[in-house]
Amino acid sequence: MTTFIHPMNAGYTETVGVGSVILTALLGPLYLVYVRAWFAALLTLVIGGPLLAFLTMATASGGNVAAVILCYVIGSASWGLAMVPLIEKSYLRRGWKLA
């Protein structure tokens, strides 16, 4: 987990960690826009969503419902994990300091 301190208000902090992965996996680009990680949100819309949909549909062609659910969960979690460095970089670009 990485904690960032607001440049104007030292009492305000944001933490990027497991919660960010879970929220990115569940809410996708909505959470990324909320934390102002614009590039990560754009990547999620252009690459992540269609890729996850393709993998899930390719798995669904086999007819195994459990495999489809597992593919969707693993794909969402791994995409959320891949977005963490981009979220951290967006905080640093906006002037936030590492705690």
pLDDT tens digit sequence for 9-43: 989 999 999 999 999 999 989 999 999 999 999 99
Instruction: Evaluate whether residue 7 is within a structural domain.
Output: no
pLDDT tens-digit profile of 38-93? 999 999 999 988 988 888 888 888 888 888 888 888 989 999 999 999 999 999 99
Instruction: Evaluate whether residue 35 is within a structural domain.
Output: yes
Instruction: Evaluate whether residue 1 is within a structural domain.
Output: no
pLDDT of residue 3 exceeding 90, the answer is yes
Instruction: Evaluate whether residue 8 is within a structural domain.
Output: no
Sheet of 13-16, strand order:
13-16, 2-5, 97-98
Instruction: Evaluate whether residue 47 is within a structural domain.
Output: yes
Which pLDDT does position 10 carry in this prediction? 86
Instruction: Evaluate whether residue 69 is within a structural domain.
Output: yes
- The DSSP letter of residue 52 is H
Q: How many structural domains compose the chain?
A: 1
The residue segments making up the domain with residue 41 are 14-98
Q: Is 13 helix (H, G, I), strand (E, B) or coil?
A: strand
Instruction: Evaluate whether residue 4 is within a structural domain.
Output: no
